[in-house]
Amino acid sequence: MAHYLVDGIVLRSYKLGETDRILHILSPNLGLVRGVAKGVRKPGSRFGGRLEPYGHVSVQMYEGRSLDTVTQVELITPNVGVREDWVASACAATMAEACDKLAQQGERATGMFLLLKDSLSVLAAGPNRPAAVLDAFLLRLAALEGFRPSLDTCITCGSTTDIAAFHVGGGVLCSRDTPADLQRISHEALAALTLLAEGDWTTIAQDDAPLPRSVASLVRAYLSHHLATTLKAWESVPR
């Protein structure tokens, strides 16, 4: 049995018994870490509010037979602004759910951790377009996980001209390769997808102009296709 240190972001927690909580933490070095915080739901718990979802923490864990135990917690960045705003919280919950599904125990997840850390920081600052921050996060997460959508080259023939549609299987199609039953994509929607996938966070978060309504649907369809599931937290994100 040994102690070890986990630097990470709390993705979720849920009740265990009458006073404990199970935690899922995303660590850059250890990937997905699961552990139990004993007595955390008791009044006056020494962990207090330091293990709330979306907080960046440094946690000391003690190895157990089936589940490791939290013994010490240092709160690095609370991201309180995320939890206090219901729209930002819904977006963060969707980000966390995606990471929880994709991160693996014992496997490095540096890119995923840094992406989540940056995205939560943007949400905590009170963006004008929190849902756009979520969509940008998801497209960039897709790229990290090896299923980056092609947004400038037809996925069938390689053409970079006459882009006409977006296919959830991999990205854009030119007009020649677009099936008759596939909805066309507007220049505005394609530009918005490119901004979300590659643009700077300030423009994505603070621009007052709404994104084309089709963009969120395309991002959702693309992620659902490649994850082979729909993120439950998506349902609470207003559009």
Alpha-carbon distance of 43 to 66, in angstroms, equals: 27
Query: Does residue 33 register a pLDDT over 70?
Result: yes
Domain 3-78 bears CATH identifier 2.40.50.140? yes
The percentage of the chain sitting over the pLDDT mark of 90, rounded to a whole number, equals 82
- Per-residue pLDDT tens over the stretch 74-128: 999 999 999 999 999 999 999 999 999 999 999 999 999 999 999 999 999 999 9
Contact 69, 35 (CB under 8 A): yes
Contact 59, 10 (CB under 8 A): no
Q: What is the pTM of this model?
A: 0.94
Report the 10 Å Cβ neighbour count for 42: 12
Of residues 134 and 1, the one with the higher pLDDT is 134
Alpha-carbon distance of 102 to 112, in angstroms, equals: 9
Alpha-carbon distance of 198 to 51, in angstroms, equals: 32
| H/E stretch holding 45 | none
Domain boundaries, the chain: 3-78, 81-236
- CATH level 2 (architecture), domain 81-236: Up-down Bundle (1.20)
Q: Which two tokens stand for residue 35?
A: 């552990």
Report the 10 Å Cβ neighbour count for 135: 27
Least confident of 39-43, 122-126, 168-172: 39-43
Over residues 173-197, the mean pLDDT reads 96
Residue 44: pLDDT band (50, 70, 90) is low
Any residues with CB less than 8 A from the CB of 48 and at least 6 apart, and which? none
Among candidate residues 96, 95, 144, 113, the one with its CA nearest the CA of residue 30? 113
